[in-house]
Amino acid sequence: MKYESQKVAKPYFIFALILFAGQVLFGLIMGMQYIDGDTLFPYIPFNVARMVHTNLLIVWLLFGFMGAAYYLIPEESETELFCPKLAIVMFWVFAAAGVATILGYLLVPYAELARLTGNVIWPTMGREFLEQPTITKLGIVVVALAFIFNIGMTVLKGRKTVINLILITGLIGLAVFFLFSFYNPINLALDKFFWWWVVHLWVEGVWELILGAILAFVLVKITGVDREYIEKWLYLIIALTLISGLVGMGHHYYWIGTPKYWLWLGSFFSALEPIPFFMMMLYAFSVVKKRRINPNNKIATTWALGTATMAFLGAGVWGFIHTLAPVNYYTHGTQITAAHGHLAFFGAYAMIVMTIISYAMPILRGREEGNPPEAQKVERIAFWLMCISMIGITLALTAAGVWQVSLQRLPETGATGFIDTQTQINPVYWIRLLLGLLFTAGLAAYLASFFISGRTESRSA
Amino acid sequence: MSERITKSMARNIYFGGSLFFFLFLIGLTFDTMGELPKRDNRENITASVALGKKVWEENDCIGCHTLMGEGAYYAPELANVFNRRGKGDEKTFKQFMKVWMSIQPMDKPGRRKMPQFNLSDEEVNGLADFLIWTSRINDNDWPPNIEG
C-alpha cells in the first residue's frame, strides 16, 4: 500500500461482500418461489424478496465502487485521501441506512413502510429498483456528495490521470442522474421516461465509465504495460460507450407511450452498444499479452480478463439478442430480460468489484505479494464456479424466455395465459435453482478463500 | 487500427462524441415531451387515477407484475388487464377488480401467491381507474396479444 489512507477501502469491500451474500440468499428464495409459490408466503412475499435482492445488489455495487475509488484515487493522485475520517463516517452512515432500509422491507408491509417514512410528503417509492423510502434516497444523496467531495478534493490536490478523471466523471454522473429518482410525476408515461434516466444512464452509461476506469487501473498495476497505451484504449472504449449508449436509451422507449421514432433510434444505437464491450475484451487480453511484470497475484489477472469477457457476453451479446424493436416486441418483459439482467450485472459490475477486491484486498491486508497460492487456488475454483453457474442460469432463463414467448406472445389467437405458461416452464426453473445452488457454492468458496493463510504468510508472520 | 489513433485523438473522440450525443439526447427529449401529450391521454388523469398510482406504488405491485413490460416477471402484465379481464368495459372491470382483490391470497397450493393488501373500496376503484387509464396510452400496439 503506497498511501496510508487507502486503508479506508477495506471496510467498504468487506461490507460489499456481506451484502452480496445476502443478495444471493434472496435470489435462492425467489428461485424457490418460482417453483413453489407457497415458499415463505406470507412472511416474505415475492415482491419483498425481489426488492431485497435487487436493492442489495445496487447497494453492494455502490459500496464496491466507493471502496475502489478510495483505494485507487490516492494511488493515482499520488497523495493521501483528502479526509479519511469523512470516508469512515460515511461508511457507517451508508451501512446503517442500508441495513435499516432492508430491515424495513422485511419487517413491515411495504405500504406501512411508505406510511412510516412519510412517502405522502414526497412520493418516490414503489418504482422498480427505486423502492427505497424517500428519506433513504436523501441519505444516499448525502453520502454520495460527501464521497464525491472527498475524492474530488483528493484529485484536485494531486496528480490528474486519465483513470482518476474518468472515474470521477463516472461517479459525478452517478450522483447527478440519481437525482431523477426524486421526480415522480403522476403521468405514468413521463414517470417511466425519466425513470430510465436513473436506470439506463447508470448501468449503460456512467457505470461503464467507472467499470472502465477500475479495469484500467488494475491492468496498469498487474501488467506494467505503458499507461499511455491503456489510457488511449480507455478513452476509445468509453467514447463508444456513450456514443452508442446515450441515444441507445431509446431501446427502453419502444412501448411506454413515447413516439415511434424511438423504435428506429433505439434499435440502431443500442445495436452498437456491444462494440465497446467487445473492444474492452480485446484490449484486456492484448494488455495482458504485452505484460512486462508477472506478479504473484495471478488470480487478479483472471478476474480482470473474466470481467471483460463476461461483460461482453452479458451486456453485449445478451443485450443485443433482444434489443432490436421487432424482436423486443415479443421478448419485452419476459424471462429473456431476466437472463440478460443476470449475466450483465454479474459479468460487468459484480465482477469488476471482485476484480479490484482481488487485486487490492491482499495489499490492504499486508500481503503485498498477493494471497498465498493455497488461497488463490480456492479463489480460482470460486471464480469458475460462479462464472459457469451464472452462464448456466442465463442459458436456463433464456430457454425459459424462448418457451414463454412461443406460448404466450407469438400466437395471434389462442395464446397461453401467463400463469399457465409459467407452470409449463417449471422444469427449467428447477434447473435454474440447481445452478443457483452451484453459484452459492462458488460464492461460499470465494468468501472462504479470504480465510486461508497458507505457508507464505505464516513464514512472514 | 489502434496504432494510428493517438491518445489525444481518442480523448477528442470521447469529449466530442459524448457531448454531441448527449445534446442529441436532450433534443430528442424535448421533442418527446412535445409529442407525449398526443399519446399519453394525460387529459384523462383524474384524482382517482392519481390515487390508483399511489396505491400501485405503495404496495410495490411492480415487485411481481410488469406494467408496459417493465417490472418483475413473476405475475401477469397489467397494462392490458383492463382488456383481458374487463373486456374493455369499465363496469365489468371494476367488478372484477373488487372480487379479485378481496379473494387474495387464493388457496391453491403451489400457485404463485398475491398477498391480501386490505385496500378500501375507494383504493380498489382508484387502482382500476389507474389501470384503465394506463391501457389507453398509445404504446405502439404492445403487447402482441391479449395475454400480455
Write the DSSP string, A255-285.
SSS--THHHHHHHHHHHHTHHHHHHHHHHHH
> Is residue A60 one of the residues assigned to a domain?
yes
Do you know the residue count of chain B?
A: 148
- Examine residue A146 and state whether it is found in any structural domain, yes or no: yes
Query: Which of B28, B53, B68 is the closest to A186 by Cβ?
Result: B53
For B:24-53, CB contacts with A below 8 A are 24-25, 28-29, 31-32, 35-36, 39-40, 42, 45, 49-50, 53
Helices (H), A78-206: 84-107, 110-116, 134-157, 162-178, 188-201
- For residue A128, the chain B residues in CB contact (below 8 A) are 62-63, 70-72
What residue numbers bound the domain in which A84 lies? 1-160
Contact state of A186 with B50 under an 8 Å Cβ cutoff: yes
pLDDT of residue A454: 75
Burial A74-100 (b: 16+ CB within 10 A, else e): bbbbebbbbbbebbeebbeebbebbee
Answer yes or no: is A329 within a domain: no
Exposure class string for A317-356: b at 16+ Cβ within 10 A, else e? bbbbbbbbbeebbbbbbbbbbbbbbbbbbbbbbbbbbbbb
Which DSSP string do the residues of A286-355 spell out, in sequence order?
A: HHHHT-S---S-HHHHHHHHHHHHHHIIIIIIHHHTTTSHHHHHHHTTSHHHHHHHHHHIIIIIIHHHHH
Residue B1 has pLDDT above 60, yes or no: no
Domain tally, chain A: 1
Average pLDDT per consecutive 10 residues, chain A (461 residues; last block may be shorter): 96 98 98 98 98 98 98 98 98 98 98 98 98 98 98 98 97 98 98 98 97 98 96 98 98 98 98 98 98 96 98 98 98 98 98 98 96 97 98 98 98 96 98 98 98 66 39
A150 occurs within a structural domain:
yes
pLDDT at A455: 65
Q: Which CATH superfamily does the domain covering B41-135 fall into?
A: Cytochrome c-like domain (1.10.760.10)
Tell me if chain A has a CB within 8 Å of the CB of B119: no
Contacts of A127 in chain B (CB under 8 A): 57, 62
CA A134/CA B15 separation, integer angstroms = 34
> Given this model, what pLDDT does residue A263 score?
98
Q: Where are the domains of chain B?
A: 7-37, 41-135
pLDDT confidence of residue B111: 96
Distance, CA of B25 to CA of B4 (rounded, Å): 30
Within an 8 Å CB–CB cutoff, is residue A263 touching chain B? yes
Q: Which chain B residue lies closest to A245 (C-alpha atoms)?
A: B21
**Interface TM-score (ipTM) > 0.95:** yes
CB contact under 8 A, B60 and A131: yes
Candidates A36, A46, A101: best to mutate against B (most CBs of B within 10 A) is A46
A275 assigned to some structural domain: no
d(CA A271, CA A426): 32
Instruction: Take residue B102 and report the three cell numbers written for it.
Output: 378481496
> For residue A32, what is its C-alpha cell?
424457490
Q: What confidence tier does B4 reach under pLDDT thresholds 50, 70, 90?
A: confident
Which residue in chain A is spatially nearest to B146 when comparing CA positions?
A415
Cα–Cα–Cα angle for A389, A394, A396, nearest 5°?
Answer: 90
8 Å CB contact of B142 and A411 = no
pLDDT at A460: 45
